[in-house]
Amino acid sequence: MTVLAKATVLVVLLVEVTIGAEALQDIPEFLHICQVQQPQYETCVTNSINDLKPYLKVGVPEYHIPSLEPLKLKTISASPSNSLTMHANDINVYGASNFEINKIKMDLTNIVFNVDVALSNIAIDGKYEVDGKILLLPIHGSGPLSGNFSECIGACKIKGERFFDENGVEKIRIIDFRMKISVGKGSIKLDNLFDGEQVLGDVVNSAINNNFQLFMREFSPLLEMALSDAFQDIADKIIQQFSFSQLFPGA
């Protein structure tokens, strides 16, 4: 090889390595991108998210999309009041991929997205630990937890920001994800309360389920935190594979 040929090979290799490091993912076929200036932009985004549902259900590892069935939550620890401490771990949520979008509002100037979703039926299972008082009753124990919730509404407020990654590519990341949920109906079962003291356990479970809305007032903030955290993580991993202009052409 001549010196020139060697140099050419070297340059080609270098260029390939550099491009390789900076390459963005191409937008996958299943992610339908909407032109920001188009009329009915928000309707287009709604349709695009609806088209994603089957992929969210099973997950797409190549695009860092985890399966939402089940959705796995991080450990939830909180003291909703000073007379109660609760922990829940290994929580699985079933049915989260069956959401319906009620409303979507995209403010691309301030990067604030409001998304209202309806979930007709979700179920959860996992493990709990609880100590203190709930609905004026003493409660204490640890064990398996399960529950069903129907007619749920989730209102999400998502705040993002534009930033340049280490390769100088402009992207978007989520800096705040707040979900408020309201549960229409539901029931919950805490197994093995009071070290398996069945009668006491049944009394407390009945009290909770007979006063479900009151109970949810204490429990919702924990669930909201865990769900917001999980969705922020999922959404952030997906959007950071693409540039801002890939996701929002015309913005």
Ligand X SMILES: *[C@@H]1O[C@H](CO)[C@@H](O)[C@H](O)[C@H]1NC(C)=O
Say whether residue 87 binds ligand X (CB under 6 A).
no
Q: What mask, x for binding ligand X by CB under 6 A, covers residues 133 to 172?
A: -------------xxx------------------------
Whether residue 190 contacts residue 143, with contact meaning beta carbons closer than 8 Å, is answered with yes
Residue number with CB closer to ligand X (94 or 194):
94
**Would you say 52 or 91 has its CB closer to ligand X?**
91
**Tokens for 56?**
């969210």
Q: Provide the minimum distance between the beta carbon of 211 and ligand X in the complex, in angstroms, as a whole number.
A: 15
Q: Is 188 in the site for ligand X (CB under 6 A)?
A: yes
Q: List all residues 6 or more positions away from 194 whose beta carbon is below 8 Å from its beta carbon.
A: 140, 141, 200, 201, 204
Task: Report the amino acid identity of residue 204.
Answer: V
Q: Is 210 in the site for ligand X (CB under 6 A)?
A: no
Nearer CB in complex with ligand X: 55/194:
194
Tokens 């301030």, located at residue = 110
By CB under 6 A, tell whether 121 contacts ligand X. Answer: no
Q: How far is the CB of 175 from ligand X (least distance, A)?
A: 36
Interface residue with ligand X, options 187, 206, 210, 213 (CB under 6 A): 187
Interface with ligand X, residue 189, by CB under 6 A: yes
Part of the chain binding ligand X (CB under 6 A), chosen from 10-18, 78-86, 101-109, 187-195: 187-195
Work out whether the CA dihedral 88, 89, 94, 97 comes out positive or negative: positive
Please report which residue ranges of the chain form alpha helices under DSSP H: 3-22, 41-58, 198-210, 212-239, 244-247
Residue by residue, DSSP assigns 25-77 as PPPPTTS----TTSTTHHHHHHHHHHHHHHHHHH-BGGGTB---SSEEEPPEE
Binding interface with ligand X (CB under 6 A): 123, 146-148, 187-189
